[in-house]
Every structure is written in structure tokens, then in C-alpha cells.
Structure 1
Amino acid sequence: MTSATAAISAQQARAESGLKWVNSFAGLGPDFYTELQPTPLPSPYWVGRSRALARELGLEDHWLETGEALAALAGNQLLPGVRSLASVYSGHQFGVWAGQLGDGRAILLGELDTAAGPQEIQLKGAGRTPYSRMGDGRAVLRSSIREFLCSEAMHGLGIPTTRALCVTGSDAPVRREEIETAAVVTRTAPSFIRFGHFEHFCYSNQHAQLKRLADYVIDRFYPACREAKQPYAALLEAVSERTAHLMAAWQAVGFCHGVMNTDNMSILGLTIDYGPFQFLDAFDPGHICNHSDTQGRYAYNKQPNIAYWNLFCLGQALLPLIEDQELALAALEPYKTIFPAALEAKMHAKLGLPDAQAEDRALIDNTFRLLAGNQVDYTIFWRRLCGFMPQAGHEPVRDLFFDRESFNAWALQYSERLAQVDQGLRANLMLKNNPKFVLRNHLGEETIRAAKLKDFSGVDTLLKVLQTPFDEHPGHDSLAGFPPDWAASIEISCSS
């Protein structure tokens, strides 16, 4: 092929895919990454595709149907303009400094220039990198389906998150606890930079690179910080605020992340790295969703404090730039007030209370206490509560409780508060803040079992309801029902 013919082919490929790449992270320099190509996925096939996200990325409607798209998103063919790389970072894992980590199986293709701004495109499971640390660089089908669905589910819930464009599968064997099959998740975010990126350059005494990274993040994502007297302290404060709002969103919806290591914390306050996550079934404040978390470090009720601990680690990493320990500590302080205020606001909305009153805090505390004491299904309780009427019998909600006297006392307290609220406004507020559908473990497990048999219809069905989880979706009520008894035996660990 002549150079002229190659140029024409490249133009045609770019026009076909509609992808216009930029590579700003690559501009940071080789200290931040290793350039390499993905390892091809043998005989790939589609498992799931988010056409809603494809449209947001500006992709042509038909492109996700093409062989070019399948090859590109399985890591088998680099599209024109791609500069693929794996980034280096470090981090604390389960509270212990783990040293250098990095993208052990994720490869960044670059950024797409979209209507919502640049979006990084990353292939997770695309093969071994210099940061794989004895790993094979692959992801397996089960974890890839879970990440794909939960990324889009969290977006549907209105919770800041990385997104997932698609999953491609292969019959290539991958050894975990047993032999499984390989898959690649194509995920997107404005940036995949983590707290651990900053820790890496601080702990390795590469302060010039630390400053370059911080300046890059400020200029691209936090430009207002540049006007502050101390821009790096302002950055730490801004990240603390975003993280506080993220934790409030997680707690309100009953989401457990499972592995809140500093290398799994986004500098943009996004939910990132879906491993052993879970949405609560029966409400248990101390619930541990990660079978590998033997000490319960990342239990549901510990997540807000762990987030602050991680922010403290970020503050330590930024200290060479802030140069004032007291200033760094002051930048963390907003978290302590923003998180409880944000969570309280979300609980007001879930209870259908458009304004706050002094006695509401006791009502919120009593609600959590009642749910925990009766091990009530968290999502079903809140959705049924949307139909609660102060003068009615409350049977649909009461039937969830074995301690009827405690429920009756709480219902009286709630009814008295609702007497001060317009009921139409209350119902509308509650239906917008209490989802009917979440990605429960058993739903994911059933979908994965079918997918292993090459039946991907469950992926499409779940994606449809999870992208709009507050809608009723007639005909899909079974996806909003109680978990079966066997769901309690599902074990989700860090292995993927």
C-alpha cells in the first residue's frame, strides 16, 4: 500500500467511526506511563453495548454494529489517532502502603472530543502491561459484565461515575479460582487519574512530576483553583468537596464499593473501579460486600470515614506543593460538614420532605434504626414508601417489618411530619429519589450464568431498566423483587 493510499484509508476509517482523538495525558511525558499496544482478544464477540453512551460520545448510530468497532474495542486494532498507554500510580491498599501499582490490565486509547468535553477511552482487560505485577492483564466475563452494568446503573441513578460503552467477550481461557473466559470493558471518564497517581510521585520524591500532574488536573478540571492564593490547597479542598457529595450519594442509595483503596479513588469524585460492589438487600449498616475484606475495613457504614482517610493520604501526597501542613489540613475540613449535610439533604428527598425542620434529624435517625433492627430490604422499603399516605393503613410498608409496634410508632412520627407537606409534591419528590431498580447481586449472577452460555439477552434487559431506574418499566417487576434465598450465599471478591 502506498503512503497516499494509507492516508486515504486512515481518513475513511476516521470518518466511519466518527472518532476524533486527542492525547493530553500522553503530553505529560514518559514518567507517567508506558506506551504499548493492547493484546488482541482471540475471536471477539459482542456481549453488551450502551447505545445511549455511544450517542453521548458522538458516535454514529451504526458504528457499534461494525466489525471495525468490534476489533477496535476488543483491542485487536488501533484506530487512527490512538496513542495507547498504561499509566503508573501507587497507593494504599486496605490501609497499607503497597508501593508502585499502575494500570495492570487497563490501556488508555486517548480522549474523544465530545459535546460534553473530552472523554478518555480505556480498555480494561486488554492484556499485560509493565504494571501487571505477575498478573495476566486480562479481565473475565463475570466481572466485566458487572462493571458494564453497574457503571451505567450508577449513571442512571445520578451518581458520579465512570461509564461503560461496551463489553466484548472471547472464549480465550483465563485462570482465576477456576478457568473462566476473557472479556474487555470499554470504559470512559473525563479522566482516570486517581489519588494514587499523586501518591506515586510524592513517595518517589519526583516533585517536579507531582507539580506537573497537579497543574494538569487544575488546568483541565479545576480551573477556579488557579485563582486561589494556594492553588494546590484549593485543589485538595475541591476534591474533598466532590468526594463528600459522592459518599452521600453512595450511602443514600445503599451502595457498597468494597475496595476503597487510594488507587481506586478518582480525583474527579467519580465512582471508579467496580470490583466486589453491592447494593444492599437487607439493611445492615455493618454489611461487608467484599469476601476478601476479612477485617471489614470497607463495610457500608465505614465508607464515609474511609473516604476521609483517603483524602488525608491525598493531602500528604500534595504536601510538597502546599508546603504548609495546617493549610493542607484546613483543605480537608469541608468534608466533615459537606458529607453529613449532603446525606441529610438526600434523606429528606427520599422521605419526601422538600424543606428541613429541626425534628427531621431524629426522624431520619429513627428510620435507619428501624430498618436495621428489622433487616428490611433497603430498596423495596424506600420505593414502597413512595405510596405511604398519612391517613391510610400503610400495609405495603408495614408488611416489611416483623416488629409492628416499632413500625407503628415510626409511622405515627412520619405521618405527623407529612401533615405539613403537600402530598402531590411529596410523592413526586420521592419517586425521583427512590429507585425501583438497582443492580442486585443475584440479578448480576443470573445474567452472568446465561452469558456464559452465550445468551446475552439478560445484559440488554438489565441495561434497559438500570439506565432509567426510577421508571416503572411494566413487565419487569421481577427485577425489582426480593432477592432469592440463595443470593445471600453469593461471594464477591477482589479476584477478576
Structure 2
Amino acid sequence: MKDNTATKHSEANTQSVNPNVGWHFDHSYERLPDYFYARLTPVPVQAPQVVVLNHALAASLGLNLRVLSEQETAALFSGNVLPDPAHPIAQAYAGHQFGHFTMLGDGRAILLGEHLTPTGKRFDIQFKGSGQTPFSRRGDGRAALAPMLREYIVSEAMHALNIPTTRSLAVVKTGEWVMREKPLPGAILTRVAASHIRVGTFQYAAGQGNDTAIKILADYVIQRHYSDLKDAENPYLSLLNHVIERQASLVAQWMLVGFIHGVMNTDNMSISGETIDYGPCAFIDSYDPTTVFSSIDQHGRYRYSNQPLMAQWNLARFAETLLPLLDSSQDKAVALAEEAIHAFPQHYQNQWISGMRRKLGLLNEEAGDAELIATLLNWMTQQKTDYTNLFRALSADGPAEEIAPHNAEFLTWHAKWKSRLLRQPGSMDNVHHIMQQSNPAIIPRNHRVEEALSAASDHGDLSPMKRLLAAVADPFADLPEFNDLRTPPAPSERIYQTFCGT
């Protein structure tokens, strides 16, 4: 899909950005055939104002935002002024949304290009909420402040938890209102990603009606993300296997910290293996595998316990797009794809149980570990135990009676767990160190996130958000000044629904 609107809003984007910021753009994605994107520039906004800047991320990218005034920074991250080497485009992709296939694309996002760091790493720089594109359908192309701050908070928390994720460089208010259920302050988020290539991008390529488009995209992805596969006997099968392994690892890491993505559509699954597109995401409080937060997931398709199954389903859609490349024989290609997809559960289980062993301080493997883990999780489900705090309490090695007073079932499990620990080599100090580095003390709890978003959006008060960001930046530390952020919500504080913000 092509749009000849490259100069559509150029009158508002003609000023130059201070060269001392350190931008170094390349545009390898733009060198793909033009049906993969549409050229255009961000729609100017009236009165941009900086809400939050990620100076630590900027420094890791080799950028110095401190050379800019606040006005210059607001103009830059609103899209009113663009870096000289930026070539803004909206990317095309398709996707299964809650199981239904749709042709999509960046309806409110614009990719400025790929910034190369001083060490040669390549990162997409993308605006989210930057106005209508040829892919907007009936959308306004804008974003409200609260959902953009949610992505900023949660993506930074995920990064601190050592989970692969896109990150947020800045959020600016636009000085304009967006209409949702009510008028809301508008905002633009700047997202940093290894790339924005999705399973849905491959579905879009397959929809072009020729195998050449799929091969071009697959070759590009191998070159950009999996360059060691170029000389493989079957590089496209190797690509499929590697993406499967990365996604198995990623979803296992989500499950281990109690994270629920909320909209695991195929257009929200990154080929690079990063968590992407934070919408109605949330972390569980009391442990319940059936937990759903997303207001649009009315049938629980993407509930907490279903995330591994949905990842496998999405990857099967990815495999389908690669069939023409896997083998010239359709039957052989299908057999290879099925074998790869059927390996996902074992990849996931290996990653998950390895992570659960670390959470429980089990440094070797025993046949009874799976049963030990299952018994604990079943008890937690029955008792509605706080997931994060229970594992953190085990890490502290406190008496079982203090963790679950007068609970015979837990005391029996705790005694078995202690006996299991004593059967393995190594010191207990090392055990508890590993547990404390595997079980966060602080997560961005839903009620605290909502408090911060409400304060910022409704009252212009950024202090709760800044405090929450400071807390989740060091999630494995026991910091007394943030003890209140570790407390589970009272019944009146519980958040039962989260929203996409589109």
C-alpha cells in the first residue's frame, strides 16, 4: 500500500534538531518493497509539553537529550520537529485479532528510522499517537496520556525484571484532547525496539499473493536479527525454530512474574522476541490461572493460563506464512512446520520449570520437582495467595508459620520443600541469593498504576508516577521507602478491568 503524502505535514517539520543529540539513522526497512510501508510525516500538535524522559535509555543509545531545551525536547518527541536523517513511515502488517484475520498497519504510529548506537546496535525509533496514517481505518491516529504512561511504566518495569521488551524513551502531552468515552488529554510516546516486525508482518507479506514478498521479508529478518542463520542448511526452517524458542522463553518469563499481556494477537508478537504493544496489560495479585484483565477479552482467550497456548497458536500462523520457503514439496513443508510447532510446549516447559526452580532455590533437578511446584501453585489458587509476595517471603527464609499462619497444608508443603533444599549441594546463602534475584519484591501493581495514571491524567500530578518508576527500576531490592507499593490491594482497590486506550 502506497501513499503519496510524504509532504503532507512537512511545513511543521522543517526545523532541524540540535546535531549534538547524537542521532545516527539508517533506513534498512525502507529499502524493502514499498508495499511494506507508506511514507508520511507526523501530524503536528498544538502545544507539546514533556511529561517524562528516559535519560538512562537515551544514554544507552548514545543520545544526549540534555543539550535540548524543554521546548526543543517537546518539539522533537511530538514530531513537530524531526531529526534531519529521519525518514518517517507507517508500517503495513496484518493480524489475527482474537482469532479473526484483518489487514492492519500502523494506524497511529510512525517509524522515524533505525538509530545506530556507537557500538553498532540497531534500534527502531517509533512515535505512537502521532496522527492518522493510511492504515488508520476509522481511527483518529491519536493516543491518550494515561495509556502512553501505562506503556512507559510497565515496559520499564519489564526491562528491570530482565524480560525482553520494547522500551519507552519519552512521553509528551500534545496540548490537544482525544475523544474516547470522554475527552482525554492527548499524548505521544516514543518507543524503542529491536524492530517492529511482527508475525502479522509475515501474514501481510503472504497476503501479497506471491512468494517473493515472503522471501524478501524472511531474508531481511535473518540479516537483521538472526545473521548466524544465513549459512544454515535450511535458513528459513532455522528462522522458524529460533523464533519459536525465543517466544517460548519470553512467555515463560511472563508467567514467572505473573504478567498478563492482554492482547496476544498475531500483530502483537514480535519476531525479535521482545514484549511489544502494551495495552490492557497487568500483573496478577492473588494467584488465579484464569485471571483476565482486558476489557475486550470477554471470553478469556488471552487469560493468564492460556498465554503459552496462544503463543503456540500465533507461531503456527507464522509457520504457515513460511511454507513456500521451507520446502518445494507442500507436504514436506507442512511436515517440517508441524514438527517445529509441536516442539513449542517442550521448549516452554523447559524454560518455565527452570525458572520455577530458581524461584524456589532448587539448584539441581529431581524427579519430584514438578509435583512440588504444582502442589504449591494449587494451594495458592485455593487460598488466593498473593503471587509476588508469597515467593518473596520464601526468599527471605522466614518461618513457615509467619508466611501462612495455622495452615496445615502449607506447613506440610514447606517441610517437603526444606527437605528438598537440604538434598542439594551448595550453601543456603547461595540458594537465597538466587531466589532473591528471581523473585521481585516490587511489581507495578494494577491499583498503583491506576493511581499514578489518574493523578497524571486527571490532575496533572506526576509525583505518584515518578515514585512508582523509581520503585520498579530496582525490583529485586528490599527498599523500605517503597514498602507501601508492595502491599496487595484492598478489596475496594482491586482493578478488575484494564483498557487498550484506542
Q: TM-score normalised by the shorter chain: which range applies?
A: over 0.9
Contact 1:48/1:459 (8 A) holds in 2 = no
User: Which residue identity does 2:467 align to in structure 1?
Assistant: T
Aligned position for 2:467: 461
User: Which residue identity does 1:447 align to in structure 2?
Assistant: A
| Pick aligned residue for 1:383 from 392, 412, 416 | 392
Contact 2:18/2:68 (8 A) holds in 1 = no
Deviation at 1:41, TM superposition (A): 2.4
Contact 2:16/2:82 (8 A) holds in 1 = no
| Pick aligned residue for 1:299 from 283, 300, 303 | 303
CA deviation map 1:297-318 (0-9, x unaligned): 0010000010000000000011
Aligned position for 1:117: 121
Between the aligned partners of 2:191 and 2:277, the Cα distance in structure 1 is 10
Give yes or no for the alignment of 1:492 onto 2:498: yes
Aligned position for 1:474: 480
Aligned position for 1:322: 326
Paired residue secondary structure (1:81)? coil
CA deviation map 1:111-146 (0-9, x unaligned): 111136011100000111010110000111110010
Give yes or no for the alignment of 1:432 onto 2:437: yes
Deviation at 1:63, TM superposition (A): 3.8
* 1:251–1:266 distance in 2 versus 1, CA, 3 Å: same
Aligned position for 1:235: 239
Matches within 5 A, 1:92-491: 92-98=96-102, 100-114=103-117, 115=119, 117-323=121-327, 324-389=333-398, 393-399=399-405, 404-421=407-424, 422-452=427-457, 453-491=459-497
Deviation at 1:92, TM superposition (A): 0.5
Matches within 5 A, 1:70-109: 70-98=74-102, 100-109=103-112
User: Which residue identity does 1:476 align to in structure 2?
Assistant: F
Contact 1:202/1:320 (8 A) holds in 2 = no
Deviation at 1:388, TM superposition (A): 2.1
CA deviation map 1:254-278 (0-9, x unaligned): 0000100000000011100000111
Between the aligned partners of 2:343 and 2:322, the Cα distance in structure 1 is 17
Between the aligned partners of 1:241 and 1:368, the Cα distance in structure 2 is 25
Paired residue secondary structure (2:449)? helix
CA deviation map 1:145-200 (0-9, x unaligned): 10011111101000011111111113311111221111111010110100000001
Deviation at 1:97, TM superposition (A): 1.2
User: Which residue identity does 1:426 align to in structure 2?
Assistant: V
CA deviation map 1:354-409 (0-9, x unaligned): 112111111111111111111111111111111125xxx3233114xxx7121111
CA RMSD of superposed structures (Å): 1.7
Aligned position for 1:7: none
Deviation at 1:26, TM superposition (A): 0.8
CA deviation map 1:446-465 (0-9, x unaligned): 11111121111222222222
Between the aligned partners of 1:396 and 1:73, the Cα distance in structure 2 is 50
Contact 1:128/1:135 (8 A) holds in 2 = yes
Paired residue secondary structure (2:444)? coil
TM-score (ref. length: structure 2)? 0.92
Which runs of 5 or more residues in structure 2 are unaligned? Answer: 1-13, 328-332
User: Which residue identity does 1:215 align to in structure 2?
Assistant: D
* 1:116–1:241 distance in 2 versus 1, CA, 3 Å: farther
Aligned position for 2:39: 35
User: Which residue identity does 1:450 align to in structure 2?
Assistant: A
Between the aligned partners of 2:180 and 2:17, the Cα distance in structure 1 is 37
Between the aligned partners of 2:147 and 2:101, the Cα distance in structure 1 is 26
Paired residue secondary structure (2:429)? helix
Percent identity for Structure 1 against Structure 2? 39
Deviation at 1:64, TM superposition (A): 6.0
Between the aligned partners of 1:78 and 1:368, the Cα distance in structure 2 is 51
Once the two structures are overlaid, the 10-residue window that deviates more, 205-214 or 344-353, is 205-214
Paired residue secondary structure (1:62)? helix
* 1:65–1:396 distance in 2 versus 1, CA, 3 Å: farther
Paired residue secondary structure (2:442)? coil
* 1:294–1:64 distance in 2 versus 1, CA, 3 Å: farther
Deviation at 1:484, TM superposition (A): 2.8
Between the aligned partners of 1:38 and 1:425, the Cα distance in structure 2 is 52
Between the aligned partners of 2:501 and 2:87, the Cα distance in structure 1 is 29
Give the total of aligned pairs: 480
Between the aligned partners of 2:82 and 2:388, the Cα distance in structure 1 is 42
* 1:142–1:61 distance in 2 versus 1, CA, 3 Å: closer
Structure 1's consecutive aligned runs of 4 or more residues displaced over 6 angstroms after TM superposition are none
TM-score (ref. length: structure 1)? 0.94
Contact 1:388/1:397 (8 A) holds in 2 = no
Deviation at 1:223, TM superposition (A): 1.4
Once the two structures are overlaid, the 10-residue window that deviates more, 482-491 or 322-331, is 482-491
Contact 1:17/1:69 (8 A) holds in 2 = no
Which runs of 5 or more residues in structure 1 are unaligned? Answer: 1-9
Once the two structures are overlaid, the 10-residue window that deviates more, 326-335 or 365-374, is 326-335
Between the aligned partners of 1:225 and 1:217, the Cα distance in structure 2 is 10
Between the aligned partners of 2:489 and 2:245, the Cα distance in structure 1 is 35
Paired residue secondary structure (2:480)? coil
* 1:444–1:489 distance in 2 versus 1, CA, 3 Å: closer
Between the aligned partners of 2:395 and 2:296, the Cα distance in structure 1 is 36
Contact 2:21/2:65 (8 A) holds in 1 = no
Deviation at 1:249, TM superposition (A): 0.2
Paired residue secondary structure (2:343)? helix
